Amino acid sequence: MAAVGSLGVLVSPRASLLSASKERRRLSSASNISLGFHPSSPSLRARRVSIQTGKLNIRAADADTEKTRTSDVPGTAPSGSAVNQLLGIKGASAETNKWKIRLQLTKPVTWAPLIWGVACGAAASGNFVWNAEDVAKAALCMFMSGPLLTGYTQTINDWYDREIDAINEPYRPIPSGAISEVEVISQIWILLLGGLGAAYALDVWAGHDFPTILSLAVGGSFLSYIYSAPPLKLKQSGWIGNYALGSSYISLPWWSGQALFGTLTPDVIVLTLLYSTAGLGIAIVNDFKSIEGDRAMGLQSLPVAFGVDTAKWICAGTIDFTQLGVAAYLFAQGKTTYGLILLALIAPQIVFQYLYLLKDPIKFDVKYQASSQPFFVFGLLCTALALSH
């Protein structure tokens, strides 16, 4: 188009009365005779190169546009990482292998806090010994809390969130149809029954007169169900839902680990429930990426109810002030060294909040959690060790 326009200035006013074909022939003749252009002259060759280059650029632009259009089609997965797919986090690649899809639904990246919680409970009991039997008990308890019951929780949450995911992440396994309804329901039941069976085995192994661990597993599983499923669907309420999620990630695995190797005491129960308030803040981080779908489905997550700017400060505040409260408790109990260690672990979390969470919680949610949470979980272990002495 640009090349034709540049030649058009050589045409007389009568050209407007000619047909398009005659005009092109007249322009060709005028260009070669009147202006002295020869088909093999350098000037014409340069012009042809320019025109051909323009055509290539147009074709390239059309190809890019087509790629953009393809990636915008609902249900089409963006190019992603195979590692993210196996971990069950944002940025996952599309997958057709059913076992990989089943693993993705359990979100292995979420197992770590539960596994760590069991370790904290075992440490807080003061009775864990590094021998084969205790390590095997702890490993089974971690398997129950992580892959089995957390896998159950994540799968059932994805099942009841399939309509929201169809808006936020339509390429996820369930809304995209990569896994069938029967396969999802069967996975939910297998993980649930497997987790409860492991809990009962742990009670027998520990010689409990009352099935403490099984009771905790049943309670946690029920909490997971009402968190995701109607009619209660606790996640519809930002405060209650996020606290329920936080307590299931901190208190329940801690209690299981401590009950396996020792005895739960009232002060531990209260302290871990307090720590679960920090878990509420961590749960808010996961809500930022789902604002559009939550709003469309009427879910009052805190980012929807208060807006992103207010919710990010609520998130940071609950995480920081809860841990500072626990540090104050440790100082009051005369556990000064542990209190100082906990303060040292809180400081980098505040730095990463400033760098990522408070800057853009939607863009940097994964980066913030990857940077900050290791310090948080080591703070949990520090508190557990303090309680064991």
d(CA 92, CA 89): 6
Q: Is 80 part of any domain?
A: no
Q: Is 77 part of any domain?
A: no
pLDDT at 235: 84
Please name the amino acid found at residue 309: D
Q: How does the average pLDDT of the chain come out, rounded?
A: 82
Q: Which residue has the higher pLDDT, 221 or 235?
A: 221
Are residues 40 and 125 located together in one domain of the fold?
no
Contact 277, 213 (CB under 8 A): no
Stretch among 12-21, 92-101, 230-239, 356-365 having the lowest mean pLDDT? 12-21
Structural domains of the chain, count: 2
Q: Is 263 part of any domain?
A: yes
Which band of pLDDT confidence, cut at 50, 70 and 90, is reported for residue 94? confident
CA dihedral 242, 246, 251, 254 (to 10 degrees): 160
Mean pLDDT of the region 136-151: 98
Stretch among 139-143, 341-345, 366-370 having the lowest mean pLDDT? 366-370
What are the angstrom distances between the C-alpha of 164 and each of 57, 91, 174? 40, 17, 11
Mean pLDDT of the region 298-303: 87
Report pLDDT digits (tens) over 63-75: 444 443 334 444 4
Q: Which of 100, 102, 193 is nearest to 148 (CA)?
A: 193
Cis peptide before 231 (omega within 30 of 0): yes
Mean pLDDT of the region 352-364: 96
Containing domain of residue 61, as a range? 2-71
pLDDT at 221: 97
What are the angstrom distances between the C-alpha of 56 and each of 50, 76, 282? 10, 28, 50
Are residues 286 and 241 located together in one domain of the fold?
yes
Q: Tell me the three-class secondary structure of 106-173, residue by residue.
A: CCHHHHHHHHHHHHHHHHHHCCCCCCHHHHHHHHHHHHHHHHHHHHHHHHHHHHHCHHHHHHHCCCCH
Mean pLDDT of the region 141-164: 95
pLDDT at 153: 96
pLDDT at 333: 93
What are the angstrom distances between the C-alpha of 290 and each of 46, 128, 280, 388? 54, 41, 16, 40
Which band of pLDDT confidence, cut at 50, 70 and 90, is reported for residue 295? confident
Contact 158, 169 (CB under 8 A): no
Are residues 122 and 39 located together in one domain of the fold?
no
d(CA 87, CA 255): 26
Q: Is 88 part of any domain?
A: no
Q: Is 90 part of any domain?
A: no
Share of the chain above pLDDT 90, in %: 60
Q: Which residue has the higher pLDDT, 28 or 154?
A: 154
Are residues 284 and 207 located together in one domain of the fold?
yes
Are residues 102 and 62 located together in one domain of the fold?
no
Q: Tokens in use for 18?
A: 């000619």
pLDDT at 254: 97
Are residues 64 and 124 located together in one domain of the fold?
no
Task: State which of 44-53, 287-296, 339-348 shows the largest mean pLDDT.
Answer: 339-348
Q: Tokens in use for 157?
A: 């949450």
Assess whether pLDDT exceeds 60 at residue 27. no
Stretch among 78-82, 132-136, 242-246, 310-314 having the lowest mean pLDDT? 78-82
Of 71, 106, 131, the one marking the end of a domain is 71
d(CA 286, CA 312): 11
Mean pLDDT of the region 3-30: 40
Assess whether pLDDT exceeds 70 at residue 42. no
Are residues 320 and 376 located together in one domain of the fold?
yes
Question: Residue 37 carries which DSSP code?
Answer: -
Which band of pLDDT confidence, cut at 50, 70 and 90, is reported for residue 25? very low
- Domain of 343, CATH number, reads 1.10.600
Contact 274, 288 (CB under 8 A): no
Are residues 220 and 307 located together in one domain of the fold?
yes
What is the dihedral sign for C-alpha 179, 110, 267, 141? positive
Q: What angle is formed at CA 352 by the lines to CA 247 and CA 165, rounded to 5 degrees? A: 55
Mean pLDDT of the region 103-109: 92
